[in-house]
C-alpha cells in the first residue's frame, strides 16, 4: 500500500490511521448521531403507541441530524448537567415544530438516551469489526489450506521444539478468530438492548404504557428488549467489553507470532504492502508495521476492560460516577478493537510465507528437536528415564562439538546403547526425519477448516439476526 492508498477519515487526527483504522466510528459525531437516533426512535415509538401526535415521529427524525448540532457547544453545556443529553434534548425540541416538541425525550431520562446511544454505537461498530474478522478468518483459512504440509520448527517458551506445520499454525489463528467473532456476534444479537426506564427505572411518567413503548422503541432501533431497565446492572457492558477484549487478544496473538516469525534471523514470513515498513534511520529495513500497530492497539485493551469492570459497581437506581466512567473507555475499546481487526484482515491477506526458509531453519536445528523420538526407540530396552538421560547427554556432547545430533548417535555411549537395543541406523534416520513426526497436525488443520466452512459467521444487527444453533453449541462446549 502506498501513501496515496491510505484511506482517509474525515474525523481523523495524527494517530487515526494507526489506532482508528477501519470503519468503526466512535468519535463525537458517531455518539451525537446515536443520541439523536435514540431520541428520534423514542418519538416514533411514542407516536405508534398513541402518546404523540401523528407525524411527530417523522418531524423529530427529520431534525435529528448530527450535522445540525454543535458537539463542542453541547459538550460545554454538559458541564452544567453532568452529561450532554439535557442540552441536546433542548436543542432538538427547539429544532422541531412546536406541535411535535412534546415527543422529544418524553418519559426518558438522560441515561436512557446515552445508554441506548452506546448500544447503537456498539452495534454499528460490531458490524465493522465482524466484517474485518470475517476477512481475517478467510485469509487464515487460505493459509491453512495452502500450507497444510509445510513443515516448520515448532517453538515453545521461545525455544525450538518438535516440528509442526505452518498450516496448523494458521489453523490455530483461524479457529481463534472464528470463536472470537461468534462471541461478538452473540453479543450483537442478544445483549445490545434498548435502555428505557425513566427517572428511577419505573417509567412512571408513562403510566402503564412504559413496557409497550419500550418494545416499540427497541423495534424502531433494532435493539433487544430487556426484561427491565438496566440502569445499574452493567452486565451488558461487561459482556460486550469481554467479547471485544477476547477478539483483541486473538488479534494480538497473531500479530506477535508474525513479528517473531518475521525477525531477520528467522525470516519465515513477511508482511505485504508496497511502500510500507520503512525506517527513518535504516533504509534497509522492512518493519512489520501491521503487526506492530495491532499490538499497539491490543496492549491498551485490558486496561479499558478493567476500567469498565471497576465502573460496573453502581449504586441504587442510578450511579454517581460509575456510569459516567464508562463512556470514553467503551468508545476507546470499540475503536482499538476495530482498528486491530482492520489491520488483522490486511495482515493475513497479504502475509507472505517462505516455506524454503522454514525448512532451512528446521534443518539447521541439527536434528536436536527429534531427540525425544530417538529416546523413544531406546525406552523399551532402557526404560523412559535412562533413555531420556542418555540421549540428553548425547545432545549436549553434539551441541558442544558443533555437530548434528545424528553424528553423536553414531559413536560413544549412545551408539552402543542403540546397537544393544537392536535399533538400526535406518530406524535412527527415520526417527530424525521431521516429516515423520507431525502427529495429527494435518488432521487438526483439516478439522479447523471443516469447522470454518460449516460456520456461517452471522453479521451483527440485533435480535432479528440470531446466531445459528451450531455456532451457539460450539461456543457453549
CA 167, chain centre distance (Å): 21
How far is residue 153's CA from residue 362's CA, in Å, rounded to a whole number?
A: 5
Residue with cell 488443520: 445
Is 318 marked active-site?
yes
Helices and strands in the chain, H and E counts:
20, 4
181, 183, 186, 188: CA torsion to nearest 10: -60
CA 258, chain centre distance (Å): 16
Q: Count the Cβ atoms, other than its own, within 10 Å of residue 278.
A: 12
Answer for the pair 277, 286: CB distance below 8 angstroms, yes or no.
Answer: yes
Q: Count the Cβ atoms, other than its own, within 10 Å of residue 168.
A: 24
Task: Assign residue 65 a region (left: φ > 0; alpha: ψ between -120 and 50; beta: otherwise).
Answer: beta
Instruction: Please tell me which residue in 76, 279, 299, 416 is annotated as part of the active site.
Output: 279
How far is residue 181's CA from residue 176's CA, in Å, rounded to a whole number?
A: 8
How far is residue 219's CA from residue 205's CA, in Å, rounded to a whole number?
A: 21
Q: How far is CA 262 from CA 142, 172, 286, 330, in A?
A: 19, 18, 10, 33
DSSP 122-142: HHHHHHHHHHHHHHHHHHHHH
Residue with cell 402503564: 208
Residue with cell 471485544: 244
User: Which residues partner with 163 through β-bridges?
Assistant: 153
Instruction: Please tell me which residue in 155, 212, 256, 318 is annotated as part of the active site.
Output: 318
Spatial CB neighbours of 380, under 8 Å, sequence gap ≥ 6: 421
Q: Count the Cβ atoms, other than its own, within 10 Å of residue 462.
A: 20
Among 426, 428, 439, 374, which Cα is nearest to 382's? 374
Residue positions annotated with a catalytic role: 279, 318
Amino acid at each position: 500500500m502506498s501513501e496515496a492508498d491510505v484511506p482517509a477519515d474525515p474525523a481523523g487526527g495524527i494517530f487515526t490511521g494507526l489506532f482508528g483504522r477501519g470503519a468503526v466510528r466512535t468519535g463525537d459525531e458517531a455518539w451525537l448521531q446515536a443520541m439523536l437516533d435514540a431520541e428520534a426512535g423514542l418519538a416514533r415509538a411514542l407516536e405508534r403507541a398513541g402518546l404523540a401526535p401523528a407525524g411527530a415521529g417523522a418531524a423529530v427524525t427529520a431534525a435529528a441530524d448530527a450535522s445540525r448540532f454543535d458537539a463542542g457547544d453541547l459538550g460545554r453545556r454538559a458541564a452544567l448537567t453532568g452529561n450532554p443529553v439535557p442540552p441536546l434534548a433542548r436543542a432538538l425540541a427547539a429544532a422541531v415544530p412546536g406541535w411535535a416538541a412534546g415527543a422529544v425525550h418524553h418519559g426518558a431520562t438522560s441515561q436512557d438516551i446515552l445508554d441506548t446511544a452506546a448500544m447503537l454505537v456498539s452495534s454499528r461498530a460490531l458490524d465493522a469489526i465482524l466484517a474485518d474478522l470475517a476477512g481475517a478468518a478467510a485469509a487464515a483459512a487460505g493459509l491453512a489450506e495452502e500450507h497444510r504440509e509445510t513443515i516448520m520448527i515448532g517453538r515453545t517458551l521461545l525455544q525450538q521444539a518438535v516440528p509442526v506445520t505452518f498450516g496448523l499454525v494458521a489453523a490455530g489463528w483461524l479457529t481463534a478468530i472464528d470463536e472470537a467473532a461468534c462471541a461478538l456476534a452473540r453479543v450483537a444479537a442478544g445483549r445490545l438492548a434498548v435502555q428505557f426506564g425513566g427517572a428511577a427505572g419505573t417509567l412512571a411518567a408513562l403510566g402503564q404504557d412504559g413496557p409497550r413503548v419500550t418494545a416499540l422503541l427497541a423495534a424502531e432501533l433494532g435493539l433487544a428488549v430487556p426484561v427491565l431497565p438496566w440502569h445499574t446492572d452493567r452486565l451488558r457492558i461487561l459482556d460486550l467489553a469481554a467479547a471485544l477484549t477476547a477478539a483483541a487478544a486473538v488479534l494480538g496473538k497473531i500479530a506477535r507470532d508474525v513479528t517473531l516469525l518475521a525477525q531477520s534471523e528467522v525470516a519465515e514470513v513477511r508482511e505485504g504492502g508496497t511502500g510500507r515498513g520503512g525506517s527513518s534511520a535504516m533504509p534497509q529495513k522492512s518493519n512489520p508495521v501491521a503487526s506492530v500497530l495491532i499490538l499497539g492497539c491490543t496492549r491498551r485493551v485490558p486496561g479499558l476492560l478493567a476500567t469498565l469492570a471497576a465502573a460496573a459497581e453502581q449504586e441504587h437506581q442510578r450511579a454517581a460516577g460509575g456510569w459516567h466512567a464508562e463512556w470514553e473507555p467503551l468508545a476507546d475499546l470499540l475503536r482499538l478493537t476495530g482498528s486491530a481487526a482492520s489491520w488483522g484482515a490486511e495482515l493475513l491477506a497479504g502475509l507472505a510465507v517462505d516455506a524454503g526458509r522454514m525448512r532451512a531453519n528446521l534443518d539447521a536445528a541439527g536434528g536436536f528437536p527429534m531427540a525425544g523420538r530417538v529416546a523413544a526407540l531406546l525406552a523399551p530396552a532402557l526404560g523412559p528415564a535412562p533413555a531420556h538421560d542418555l540421549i540428553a547427554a548425547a545432545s549436549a556432547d553434539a551441541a558442544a562439538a558443533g555437530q548434528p545430533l545424528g553424528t553423536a548417535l553414531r559413536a560413544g555411549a549412545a551408539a552402543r546403547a542403540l546397537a544393544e537395543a537392536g535399533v538400526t541406523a535406518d530406524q535412527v534416520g527415520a526417527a530424525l526425519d521431521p516429516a515423520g513426526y507431525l502427529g495429527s497436525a494435518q488432521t487438526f488443520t483439516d478439522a479447523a477448516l471443516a469447522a470454518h466452512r460449516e460456520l456461517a459467521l452471522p453479521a451483527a444487527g440485533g435480535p432479528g439476526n440470531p446466531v445459528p444453533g451450531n455456532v451457539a453449541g460450539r461456543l457453549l462446549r
